[in-house]
């Protein structure tokens, strides 16, 4: 029985409700007035239910698709402006006890080298990331109680925060590790993580069991209810995601939104971010072996519909996707992307030899961070390295209240310009710096408040003079 406020996974992600949403969507998608009414509601910027968003996904005629795409772009601009936050993943270890059939880290993969970074190696990796200009990392690790205990993860986070190199510093560490207990989530909170991220992979319990034949991750309920425990443990910001390609994508889409609705209903705040990864080629993994792959056009529609359904939530696209795909979805609501990513254990300080391949998946966008920054600015986006909301406590419901009111722009827009200025001064190539200085001048003129503009101009001047580490 579907119950959005239930704490049981089988009830707040009810399979019958997901199937009913798809069936109703097929019927209503043929009703032009019903589709128009949903688009009108989406234009108000207050979000859509999983049933309403499912109707838009089913209404795939060119006219509706064009309206959706245009509206998604406007909604993203309304709440997030033209800022794009940049980050990089850092894989600490590929030791894993699970048997996930879509991941090369599964325990029966006997030919993949198993690696785990020492604290000294973490220092080298993070220093290399700082030399690129990164300020925000997403820490990743396989699930292994002996090799990757929480003590190791927390020690690694402390090491990362403690590294100062030239003008470099990692200001926020987000964490993507296995589902755990409320007490462990409290420990992660006390380690001052940013967002706790956990991909559901699939919301279909039957498919989930087949895809996770062995290991602690096999427990569907424990995994699906992890975000409730994380929020109970005091972590304000959580990030959802489904691995598209593993299950029927229309039901996965509805279920993902049902999960977001559940967090809002129970905890008063929905997910801080939603990621939309697709199954990608990796060591021993062929995307063609999975029956539910989606093409680029469908992927773009999913991104647009998520932006309409949860307008306040950050959307993440990683380097799993190609430059062309990332370029398209940046205009459909995406607000965060990775740059110059390595999905191997290590590989930033020194390229990994092919015979030592420890990549979790193949990267499709191999450009340097400077090339990504240059590209973003060429499309009119502001590359942002800002972490001020975390540093100033604007998380959870405090962030969402500011975002929903539109006031977050007064913080994020000028801070994005300040962190871009830092990047230009410290790391950018001459061509990127020239393009960036022109963009900053153009964007600074858009700041409506004379007081905010004066502060920004003063801080920009101080950054040019060598001052760093403002509260952004």
Give 202-247 pLDDT, tens digit per residue. Answer: 999 999 999 999 999 999 999 999 999 999 999 999 999 999 999 9
Segment 324-382, tens digit of pLDDT: 999 999 999 999 999 999 999 999 999 988 888 899 988 999 999 999 999 999 999 99
The residues, ordered by sequence, that sit 6+ positions from 211 with a Cβ below 8 Å of its Cβ are 100, 101, 102, 201, 202, 246
Angle of CA points 321, 49, 176, to nearest 5°: 40
CA 56 to chain centre: 23
The pair of three-digit structure tokens given for residue 177, joined into one six-digit string: 């590790």
pTM: 0.94
- Please tell me the predicted confidence (pLDDT) of residue 219: 98
The per-residue pLDDT for 396 is 54
Average pLDDT value for residue range 311-327: 94
Residue 444 token pair: 């600074």
Tens digit of each residue's pLDDT (9 = 90 or more) over 109-121: 998 999 999 999 9
Distance from C-alpha of 271 to C-alpha of 253, rounded to nearest angstrom: 15
pLDDT of residue 205: 97
* Confidence at residue 228, expressed as pLDDT on a 0 to 100 scale: 98
Cα–Cα distance, 418 to 432 (Å, whole number): 16
57-78 pLDDT tens trace:
999 999 999 999 999 999 999 9
Residues 6+ positions from 434 with CB-CB distance below 8 Å: none
Residue 149, pLDDT score: 98
Which H or E run contains 201?
none
């Amino acid at each position: 029985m579907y119950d959005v406020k239930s704490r049981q996974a089988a009830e707040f992600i009810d399979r019958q409700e997901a199937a009913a949403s798809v069936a109703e969507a097929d019927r209503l998608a043929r009703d032009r007035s019903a589709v128009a009414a949903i688009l009108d509601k989406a234009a108000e910027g207050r979000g859509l239910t999983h049933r309403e968003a499912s109707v838009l996904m089913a209404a795939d005629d060119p006219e509706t698709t064009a309206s959706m795409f245009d509206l998604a772009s406007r909604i993203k601009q309304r709440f997030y402006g033209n800022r794009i936050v940049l980050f990089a993943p850092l894989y600490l270890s590929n030791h894993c006890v699970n048997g996930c059939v879509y991941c090369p880290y599964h325990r029966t993969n006997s030919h993949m080298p198993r690696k785990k970074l020492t604290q000294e190696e973490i220092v080298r990796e993070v220093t290399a990331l700082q030399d690129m200009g990164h300020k925000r990392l997403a820490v990743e690790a396989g699930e292994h109680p002996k090799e990757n205990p929480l003590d190791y993860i927390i020690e690694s986070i402390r090491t990362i925060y403690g590294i100062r190199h030239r003008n470099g510093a990692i200001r926020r560490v987000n964490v993507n590790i296995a589902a755990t207990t409320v007490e462990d989530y409290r420990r992660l909170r006390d380690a001052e993580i940013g967002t706790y991220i956990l991909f559901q992979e699939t919301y279909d319990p039957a498919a989930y069991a087949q895809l996770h034949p062995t290991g602690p991750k096999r427990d569907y309920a424990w995994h699906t209810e992890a975000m409730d425990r994380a929020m109970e443990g005091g972590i304000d910001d959580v990030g959802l995601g489904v691995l598209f390609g593993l299950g029927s994508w229309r039901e996965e889409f509805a279920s993902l939104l049902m999960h977001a609705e559940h967090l809002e209903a129970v905890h008063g705040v929905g997910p801080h971010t939603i990621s939309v990864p697709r199954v990608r080629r990796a060591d021993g993994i062929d995307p063609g072996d999975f029956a539910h792959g989606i093409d680029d056009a469908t992927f773009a529609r999913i991104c647009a519909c998520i932006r309409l359904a949860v307008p306040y939530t950050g959307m993440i696209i990683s380097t799993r996707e190609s430059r062309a795909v990332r370029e398209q979805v940046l205009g459909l609501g995406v607000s965060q992307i990775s740059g110059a990513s390595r999905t191997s254990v290590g590989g930033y300080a020194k390229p990994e030899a092919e015979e030592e391949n420890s990549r979790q998946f193949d990267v499709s966008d191999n450009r340097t961070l400077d090339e990504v920054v240059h590209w973003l600015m060429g499309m009119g986006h502001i590359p942002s390295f800002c972490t001020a909301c975390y540093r100033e406590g604007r998380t959870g419901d405090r962030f969402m209240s500011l975002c929903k009111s539109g006031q977050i722009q007064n913080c994020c827009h000028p801070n994005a310009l300040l962190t871009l200025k830092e990047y230009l001064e410290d790391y950018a190539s001459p061509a990127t710096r020239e393009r960036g200085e022109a963009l900053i001048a153009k964007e600074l003129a858009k700041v409506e408040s004379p007081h905010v503009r004066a502060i920004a101009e003063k801080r920009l001047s101080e950054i040019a003079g060598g001052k760093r580490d403002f509260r952004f």
